[in-house]
Amino acid sequence: VANLDAVLGDGTRRDAIAALAAAVGAYLWVKLFDVLASNDVLERKLSRKLIHTSCGPFFVLLWPLFSASPSAKYFAAAVPVLQGIRLMAIGVGAIENEDAIRAVSREGDRTELLRGPLYYTAVLVVCTAVFWRGSPSGIAALSLMCGGDGLADIVGRRLGKGNPLPFNADKSYAGSAAMFLGGFGLSLALCAFFHALGYMSVDPGSAAGRLALIAAACTAIEALPAGSFLDDNISVPVVAVVLGGVLF
């Protein structure tokens, strides 16, 4: 961290530049998957889920670019806030952007952007502005929404046939295993990352058991047949934050 401060400086100017870099980086990251899908390198559904799985962690890995100032997290949170405003504008038809609709919607309906993608962005805002770099709970919430729920869908569609869950035929043992392993693995890796940089006081070794419990609880929630009335982008991070608040 000290080395980063020496190179990048500290304060508002650094945070403004970091926010701009994060916004441009996030845009280019999503655009990459859109181009790959448009050129049939990736199928559209897989591209959308890879965006879901990777965008949150990509953004989090840029957090060390921001300074130690108390206001730094708000500069960082401005990135998903602006993305949320953009999604709302596209979703209500105020802005025409077929590329964005194609990249993140299931059926090509612009109003879909007002549900799952907008909830996803809202979770990024909360995890950034409220929890930031020192909170295992915030990291777990984001990791399980991205690396957990995203991988559950990808793996479940490919390996889940023939092993449905007894209480929810739309979910599978393969998908739930991917949810747990992906969410737990990502949350542990990110906690280790921020601990190594000096932002997080809890070391990954002592946090591992608690992160596994959070991952197990979120895996159970994701497996429930509640998707018709409760989006996983809401239920999974809420459970992670509540349980994380108890355990940490």
Tell me the per-residue pLDDT of 204-214, one tens digit each, with 9 for 90 and over.
Answer: 999 999 999 99
Using alpha carbons, list the distances in angstroms from residue 182 to 62, 104, 147, 152. 20, 21, 5, 8
Q: CA-CA distance, 116 to 65, in Å (whole number)?
A: 28
Quickly state the pLDDT bin for 186 (edges 50, 70, 90): very high
What pLDDT is attached to residue 6?
Answer: 63
Q: CA-CA distance, 28 to 45, in Å (whole number)?
A: 19
Using alpha carbons, list the distances in angstroms from residue 95 to 57, 98, 101, 126. 27, 10, 11, 25
What pLDDT is attached to residue 2?
Answer: 57
3-state secondary structure of 168: strand
- Please report, as a single letter, which amino acid is at residue 177: A
Q: What confidence tens digit (pLDDT) does each residue in 126-158 have?
A: 999 999 999 999 999 999 999 998 999 999 989
Mean pLDDT calculated for residue range 10-22: 92
- 186 Cβ contact partners less than 8 Å away, ≥ 6 residues apart: 57, 143, 144, 146, 147, 148
Looking at residue 165, what DSSP letter applies? E
Mean pLDDT calculated for residue range 29-38: 87
Q: CA-CA distance, 188 to 196, in Å (whole number)?
A: 12
Cβ proximity of 185 and 147 under 8 Å: yes
- Chain mean pLDDT for the chain: 92
Q: CA-CA distance, 218 to 240, in Å (whole number)?
A: 7
The string over 20-41, giving b where at least 16 C-beta atoms fall within 10 Å of a residue's C-beta and e elsewhere, is: eebbebbeeebeebbebbeeee
Q: CA-CA distance, 138 to 197, in Å (whole number)?
A: 17
Cβ proximity of 232 and 224 under 8 Å: no
Mean pLDDT calculated for residue range 159-185: 93
Looking at residue 68, what DSSP letter applies? S
- Greatest CA separation found in the chain? 56
What pLDDT is attached to residue 39?
Answer: 85
Quick one: which H or E segment has residue 169? Answer: strand 168-172
Q: CA-CA distance, 111 to 42, in Å (whole number)?
A: 24
Q: Would you kindly state where each structural domain of the chain is located, as residue ranges?
A: 1-133, 135-248
- pTM for the model stands at 0.92
Q: What confidence tens digit (pLDDT) does each residue in 53-111 have?
A: 999 999 999 999 999 999 999 999 999 999 999 999 999 999 998 878 888 887 888 99
Cβ proximity of 215 and 144 under 8 Å: yes
Quickly state the pLDDT bin for 192 (edges 50, 70, 90): very high
